[in-house]
Every structure is written in structure tokens, then in C-alpha cells.
Amino acid sequence: MFINKLLLVLIISPFVAALTGKELLDFAVKQYTKAVHEIKTGVRCPSIGRPTATAWDTLPVVTSDFRVGFYPGILWYLYEYTNDKTWKELAITATEAEADIQYINRTHDIGFDIMGSFGNGYRLTKNEKYSKVIVTAANTLATRFNPKVGCTRSWNSKKPDQFIVIADNMMNLELLFEGSRLSGNKTLYDMAVSHTNVTIREHLRADYSHYQVVMFNETSGHVMKKYTVDGYADHSCWSQAQGWLVSGLTTAYRYTRAEYILRAAEGVAKYFIDKSPADGIPYWDYDVPHDSNHTYIPRDSSAAATAASGLIELYEFTKNDKYLIGFKRIMESLNGDRYRADAKPEYKIPALFLNGTTSFKKSIYDTAMIFGDYYYVKSFKYYLDL
């Protein structure tokens, strides 16, 4: 059954030649075998990979930055893929060094951080210590929940009454869902569902694009303002958070099996597929005008890799070929000459692909991104297992 579908896809998609997840994971093993030599695993974590640098830019392991869970996560996936205990030992070192993140309550990003490291560690080892960290971290994130708004707070604000929620925060809910599953505490689950409901109601637009930021009045629960910080304009659709929504809403569906969440996940996924250029990799914002004032408009490959991780799971849930084709188009492109991190001799960075954009406004674009690599590896493992 699946084989037939695969053949169909091979015939109808011009971008799909001979995509085998295996080759791509072999490439990941090769690149990360190089990368780990330069990374002080357990002390620093890679974040951005500039094309001609030989080593990744790094962050300390315990921080409130959203990116520190991805490196341990990649190491866990490489262990799962190769069954080689060298990767397992590295993954354990990288993960356990991040234990103190479970208590960090000044940011919502502990969802990203803990699920990348301890979440994958628990998935593969069933180590009870890891389960405890996940549950504690979920309860830490829960301290940011406001019942009046129905959401966990994203960014802190010093102004009275302001309660800021960003669309990206859908990705942190997996920690609440998983913390609830592991502890049996239904409150954590209800918070995640409530946050999902508010995101669908307030962040999504009728065409399934989104507002990145919604500011609520935390006393009344009313919406004060909808705008963007990282996107091109308040009315535009920032590709990275569109990717977070594809993945985050699909994850919320995995835990809830609620039809209205599936509809929302499919809506944002269709937007991502239909509005991206032919190679499946969006520009950094879907609505940047292609005119003389915007002479260089970079892509966002990491947004595409993130979306791909949702698309392959959506395909599993719905068996709708649109998502499998969308997934393959993205993965083929990332693995091709236009994006791959070894596409040109002058590229030295031991990463998987370039052309990620974290912030066009801060001039961070056309580089490898650790989260892009993470979602690429995660997606391919998922695809191979299907």
C-alpha cells in the first residue's frame, strides 16, 4: 500500500528523484562526526553555523535560549539511527548537563529545550530520572499559565497588564502534554489544550496564516494588540512561525486526537505547501514584496525542515498524499545543490544545510541553524520508520 503511494509520488513530483532517508541520515552521521570534535559537549551547544566557518557558534548549555535542546536531540537521533553507543554517551553527556533548565521559569522556551534533550532521552532509554525532569519542567512551565488568558506567557513584559503570547509557543506545549502523560496530572494537559484553543482562535487568520504576537490584558483576558516582532509586517506571515505552527498543531493533535485541532494543523500545513516557492523552501516571510526595495530576500530552510516534521506526521494521520509530496519536496531541496552544507568547496561548516534565517532583521540568515538540522534528522527518522 505504502509502496504504491511512494511510486506515485516518485512519478508525479519533479523534485523527487531517489530520496532515501538512509543516505541522508548517513550524511548527518558524517557531518556530526566532524562537528563533535569542535563542540565541548556538556559545556557548550551549537546554535548557528556560518557557511565558511569550520565550527559552529555556540551557547552555554544552561540558558533560557530556545536552541540548547536541539544538539542533544540530534545526538539521540543519531544514536537511534546507528545504534552506536558513542552517540549515546555523547547524548547522555549533552542531556544531563542541561538538567538545571527544568527550574528556569523566566522563559517559555524550556519546552523546546527539555523535549529536545530529556524528551528524546526518555523516549529512547525510559530512564526514570529523565521522566522526573520532564514532569518538573512541565510544572515550571505551568507557573506561566494565566487562566484568564488561557495561555502560558511567552515573553515577559514590564508594562502593567500586558500578557504576550507568540505563535512559536505552540512548540512548548509538547512539554505540558508529555509531562501530563508521564505524571497523570490532567491540569497540565488542560493547560496545553486551552493554550492550543486560544492560539487557533487568536493567532490564526481565515487563510491559515498567522499573527506572530498577540498581546492580552492579563486582568481582563481581552486582546489588546496583534502584531509581529520577527516578521516583515504586522499583517504578514513569518515563515518560521508558520513552520512552528505546522509542527506544533500536529503535535497537539497527536496528544488530543481532536478533530478541530487536526483541521487547524491541516490549514497551516496547506498554507505552507501552497504558498512556498516551487522548491518548497519559503522566503523568510511569505509577504515580503519582491520589488526594488527588497533586493535580497533570503529563504528560510529551517522553517521548511520544521514544517516537514509536521507534514510527515500529518501524512501518517490522514494518508493525504499532499503532505507526503510536500514533505519530500522540502527534503529533496534541502539535500540538493542549492542548500546542502557541502554544496560548494568553500563551505566548511559541519552542518546539514544552509539558508536558515532566525532573524532577517538582525541579519542572521543564510546560515546553518541547529534547529533546522534537528528537524531534518527527526523528519527522516520518522519517514524511515513509516
Cα of 12 vs its chain's centroid, Å? 28
Distance CA 79, CA 28 (A): 12
Residue 100 among the catalytic residues: no
Answer for the pair 152, 141: CB distance below 8 angstroms, yes or no: yes
The stretch near ligand NAG (CB under 6 A) out of 59-67, 187-195, 236-244, 262-270 is 187-195
187 binds ligand NAG, rule: CB under 6 A: yes
The string over 364-385, giving b where at least 16 C-beta atoms fall within 10 Å of a residue's C-beta and e elsewhere, is bbbbbbbbbbbbbbbbbbbbee
- Cα Rg, the chain, nearest whole Å: 20
Q: Which of 65, 113, 161, 168 is catalytic?
A: 168
Distance CA 236, CA 301 (A): 18
100 binds ligand NAG, rule: CB under 6 A: no
- Taking each continuous run of H as one helix and of E as one strand, the counts in the chain are 14, 9
227 binds ligand NAG, rule: CB under 6 A: no
Q: How far is the CB of 386 from ligand NAG (least distance, A)?
A: 28
**Helix, strand and coil in the chain, % to nearest 5:** 55, 10, 35
Q: How many residues bind ligand NAG (CB under 6 A)?
A: 26
Residue 109 among the catalytic residues: yes
Answer for the pair 365, 284: CB distance below 8 angstroms, yes or no: yes
44 binds ligand NAG, rule: CB under 6 A: no
Instruction: Name which of 69 and 282 has its Cβ closer to ligand NAG.
Output: 282
197 binds ligand NAG, rule: CB under 6 A: yes
Instruction: Name which of 24 and 141 has its Cβ closer to ligand NAG.
Output: 141
Instruction: Name which of 128 and 161 has its Cβ closer to ligand NAG.
Output: 161
The stretch near ligand NAG (CB under 6 A) out of 19-27, 77-85, 180-188, 247-255 is 180-188
190 binds ligand NAG, rule: CB under 6 A: yes
The dihedrals phi and psi of 152, each to the nearest 5 degrees, come to -85, 145
Among the listed residues 31, 58, 199, 355, the single contact to ligand NAG using CB under 6 A: 355
136 binds ligand NAG, rule: CB under 6 A: no
Q: Which of 65, 84, 100, 109 is catalytic?
A: 109
Answer for the pair 365, 356: CB distance below 8 angstroms, yes or no: yes
291 binds ligand NAG, rule: CB under 6 A: yes
In the bound state, the residue with its beta carbon closest to ligand NAG is 142
The string over 87-100, giving b where at least 16 C-beta atoms fall within 10 Å of a residue's C-beta and e elsewhere, is bbebbbebbbbbbe
Q: Which residues contact 183 (CB under 8 A, 6 or more apart)?
A: 135, 138
Q: How far is the CB of 338 from ligand NAG (least distance, A)?
A: 4
Q: How far is the CB of 214 from ligand NAG (least distance, A)?
A: 14
CA-based nearest residue to 308, from 258, 283, 272: 272
Interface ranges with ligand NAG (CB under 6 A): 51, 105, 139, 142-143, 161, 185, 187-188, 190, 193-194, 197, 217, 219-220, 260, 291-293, 298-299, 338, 354-355, 366
Q: Please list the active-site residues.
A: 109, 168
